[in-house]
Structure 1
């Protein structure tokens, strides 16, 4: 029986390193842990966090390469005892991780242990099926190695499931958009009523101006006939019923969308349905943007009219008080 000395070499390591950030190129102290059996490298805020009951990773990756580096030319307190790790980060892909340690001894230790781990994993003893199960987190129903027909069938089933979920999610988005459009219509009609009421207030304030002028100069109005100023016909507020989410047609359309999504089973039908829903969402977005602009302009008008009405009321009250003092 032969013994491979490499099997007894240290392949796992942990300790404090100083790591450079990916976006903001600042150096921060992190506690890094290398698992030699899986080549999994993780780094944490501190050793205390790593040893806690619920450690929280700052990041992790599967080690692919390591090489000695000197980053001291970057200035500051950066030390020359560095190395660069290349690894595959989940959901991101391959990235470079630049770190340095406090002394040459720690640098040599990390380089040696990481290279031991990489050499050990060049020819893994586990079967392909077992290794894929470990990486994916689950086992395929009939093992990893499957016939091409079974693989194609599984791929098609996955595509159909993704399309079905996309149709369902976009249908829900369309329903939300319909609800939003209906609610904005309701609010727009309420603003129309408010603006019409302000116009009526302005008309009544015009009448108040005539009355105050007549009280201030009764003889002038008697001879000029101004005392018989025509009454302006007040504007009637909008009588349209606001479309609320309860009486709008959106709820009926929602049931139709879900019903139709269950009728189509083929990928072509689902793609056609997706295209129609996306077109509808585009129309909704255009309507919402237009309504937002219109509402913003109307709110500005209402605010201006409200301020004008307040100023005129204060002015009329002051004039009326002055007339009362003179007459007394």
Structure 2
């Protein structure tokens, strides 16, 4: 099977977040299927539905491992010391790139005061349903389940909440019905305020990805975010340099309006991994505004996000008693 996305979308349409660990090798498909809360007949039916969906997508063989284990998702914080560095765009494309690599991943837009993920994920105006007191994530671009405060307020409405209310809102997003999602990318608001503190206290991430643009002022703020997570004993997965070089679509000349290599140099100085750089490209802005994140496509930009996702996933999977 050549089209992983076609298969993944077909499965998600049938079972949503119950499917995880999807892998496609040639025409052979394997995945894990969460059957928690289902009786024997329903388990047989849902397994049959998955096989049928896979075969329609072109699978010659389908291997399904059933599991009823309750999974507590691991949180991957994406943070910066300041706004305007492309944190939400990175979070979206990181989650999608990880999903394309076969990981069961979700996305939380924890920027309570400036949520933008509904547009980036192509489901603006779609409200999540609830089961009891737990919200059910909405399926966004690339079959990635996600939740955002932007789904619960009217477009353009200001959210004027004090710290405790914002912290409670974050808990509702994280403590949702995520099914078999194993990893959740959390897009944090800028800075090191109440939202970050609430997350550390109640939902400690396994690690943090720090994003910065190359110029010195952004790096100074990124250092503050790194120090915050160091103090909270949250490991730094690595540093991403965004808006790293602009390729003129007319003349083809490369320029560096925000400088070059600053984040990589800072990572080396701090002794933390440098995860990669994303260029300043109008295609990213256009695709994001259209709700079709560039990580869904092919080409240099998609490859850049995929490379960062690979390094993040490798870090997560590394036994923590092993050297990084």
Q: Which has the higher helix share?
A: 1
Which one scores higher on RCO, CA 8 angstroms, separation ≥ 6?
2
Give the structure with higher Rg (CA): 1
Which structure: greater strand fraction?
2
Q: Same fold (TM over 0.5)?
A: no
Q: Which of the five TM-score ranges fits, normalised by the shorter chain? A: under 0.3
Using structure 1 for the length normalisation, give the TM-score.
0.16
